[in-house]
Structure 1
Amino acid sequence: MSCGREWITPCRRYALRLTVASWNQIDRECGYSGKIETGGILIGHYTTDESTAVVIEALSPPKDSARGRSWFHRGVRGLHGLLKKRWDSKVRTYYIGEWHYHPANIVEPSGDDLAQMYDINADSRYSCREPVMLIVGQARYGGERPVRAFVFPQGELHIEFKEHTAARR
Structure 2
Amino acid sequence: MIACGADVIARHPRSWEKEDYIYDPLHYLALIEQKTNALDQAAPLADWELPEAYIILRRLMEARMGKKGKREFVQVLRLLETFQIADVEAGIQSALDRGTIGFDAVKHLVLCRIERRPPRLDLTVYPYLPRAYVAVTSPSDYMALLSGGGL
Q: Compute the TM-score of the two structures, normalised by the length of structure 1.
A: 0.24
Q: Which has the higher contact order (CA 8 A, sep 6+)?
A: 1
Q: Compute the TM-score of the two structures, normalised by the length of structure 2.
A: 0.27
Higher radius of gyration, 1 or 2: 2
More strand as a share of residues: 1
